[in-house]
Amino acid sequence: MLGTLAAAGAAVAGWAVAPKFFGSSKREAKMQSAAQTKTSPRALQAVFPPGPEHWVGDGFYVKTVFWPQLDAQMLSPFLLLDHAARKRFDASHYRRGVGEHPHRGFETVTFAYEGEIEHRDSAGGGGRIGPGDVQWMTAASGIVHEEKHAQAFSERGGDFEMVQLWVNLPASKKMSEPRYQPLLDREFPRLQLGAAEARLVAGRLAGETGPAKTHTPITTFDLRFHEDGTSEVELPAGWTTLVFPLEGDVTAGPALEPIASRHFGVFDRNDDGVVQLHASKGARVLVLAGQPLDEPVVAYGPFVMNTREEIGQAFRDYQSGRMGHLL
């Protein structure tokens, strides 16, 4: 789908484009595969502000919240997150969005909070998602796609809010077959976690399993606080844990460390305590947790691979038509 890189300050087709090659060396870390019970909350390691707002295509006015060049190993397996905050679009017969563009080596995950978009790709995937739905597109060996405001939404106008997340694929999966998963809001398990309701998109949480199929261990969910208070969740030690407040300010842990709206917080990967969040009624938070890949990351344009040579091959394959075209 879309793609930007706030560090470059440029809008591009395919939610992220790196202005130069970026190679990150491996970071050794001892990983644990399951969460361990611990009473003290996990430490908040750092908080980062988003980049400036800018247009992606003509349909998505976004802030890039994080991107690979920030610290690819700290973010792994996640690469990039764009947030198109709530915006009103007037009724029009013209469909805004982003036209045909390629991807290889990762997955794009689009969370629709308001409005509707339509997707189609060169592998035959496609469909429309609306409020509460998610589409999980695995570009893998290569795909060409477009995403635009749905025709019906364009004609009636209305509020529009989306998030797009890029999830890296391990080297062993980067050249696998593309896949498209349309996930409807009614499919997501709901869990009461203290003052908030969690909506589980992928992975396991409190005995429930989200419907999304993933290539590596990931748990992704959002929280909506139905009252002022605290929400706690136990996630595996050794995993990357990122928290992004879409709306409303959040504080973390007993020290009430602040994570401002549209900033993102990174929790200590080596801590095995619970993730503890405090917020006011109406706050909405996206939580991303995943096992780091511990592999080199080279991101350029709409491609994310492990070496410069693989990026060059991706461009040649796209230009020669091997990733297909939209008809």
For residue 21, pLDDT beyond 90: no
How confident is the model over 189-241, as pLDDT tens digits? 999 999 999 999 999 999 999 999 999 999 999 999 999 999 999 999 999 99
Report the C-alpha gap between 43 and 16 in whole angstroms.
30
What is the model's pTM?
A: 0.89
What tokens does 144 get? 């060409």
For residue 309, pLDDT beyond 50: yes
Those residues whose C-beta lies under 8 Å from the C-beta of residue 267, and which sit 6 or more positions away, are 42, 43, 44, 45, 241, 242, 243, 252, 275
**At 319, is the pLDDT very low, low, confident or very high (cuts 50, 70, 90)?**
very high
**Domains in the chain: ranges and CATH:** 4-9+48-319 (2.60.120.10)
Contact 116, 153 (CB under 8 A): yes
Report the C-alpha gap between 180 and 174 in whole angstroms.
15
What tokens does 313 get? 């091959």
Contact 66, 262 (CB under 8 A): no
Q: Please count the CA atoms within 13 angstroms of the CA of 12 that sit on its side-chain side.
A: 22
Q: Report the percentage of the chain scoring pLDDT > 70.
A: 88
